Chains A and B, each alone.
Chain A
C-alpha cells in the first residue's frame, strides 16, 4: 500500500505487503529528518532518521528516502505486520532547535 501525492491521512495495507508513507516537508534549509510512530494512547517513538547529505537510509524492515529536489520524504516498511498499525509522523529540524512535525498518516494493517 502507498499514500500518494503530498499526503493522505490514512493508509490501509494488507499484512505482509510493503507500505510506503509519503511526506512533503516545507523548509528547503532543513538538514535533518526523523520518522516517528505513535501507537494509540502512547507518545511518538523514534523509528529512523536521515541527514540531508544522504538520500537513503535503512533500518530493520524500514527504509527512509529523501528527495531534496522536491522536498519529499518517504518511509517504506517491508512485510507490514499488525503491530505496525499506528500513526506515522515525519519531522524536520527547523532552525537550530525546533523539530517540526507533519500532520501524520494513520496506517491500518488488514489481516
Chain B
C-alpha cells in the first residue's frame, strides 16, 4: 500500500510536447507538494496545495501548471517541454499546513530529448 504514488515513474518525450505527471496520497493528508530534483540532486520546491488551494507557487515557468481535483491528488502538467525540464519530479504530502515531516513519492524521471 504505497502512501504517496506517482505515475508514470519514467517519461521520455520530445521537446515541445505536453505531458502530465499524476500524484495520489492515501494518508489523509491536507497538504501536497511538487519538488524538482536536478542532476546534482538539488531538491527545489515548485508548488504546494492545501485542501485544493494553492499556497506555494515558486518562480516556475508558467508552462508548469499544477491541478488539485481533491486533497488526495495533485497533478503536474507541463506544456511545451524543454531540454532543461529533464529532472526527477517528486510529489510529497504532509498532514498539516506547516509542521511535521513530508512523505515523498518514488519520483517521476522526465527525460526531454
- By a beta-carbon cutoff of 8 Å, the part of chain A in contact with chain B is 32, 34, 38, 41-46, 49, 87, 89, 93, 96-101, 103-104, 106
- Interface flag for B78 (CB, 8 Å): no
Dominant SS at the A interface? strand
Assess the B101–A43 pair: CB atoms within 8 A.
Answer: no
Q: Which chain A residue has the least Cβ–Cβ distance from B33?
A: A99
- Chain B residues near A87: list those with CB within 8 A: 41
How many chain B residues touch A (CB < 8 A): the figure is 25
A49 to B, closest residue via Cβ: B101
B101-A34 in contact (CB<8A) = yes
A-B contacts besides A44-B90, A97-B31, A103-B40, 19 pairs, CB < 8 Å: A34-B101, A34-B102, A42-B106, A43-B90, A43-B92, A43-B105, A43-B106, A43-B107, A44-B43, A44-B102, A46-B103, A87-B41, A93-B99, A97-B56, A99-B102, A101-B35, A101-B44, A104-B42, A106-B41
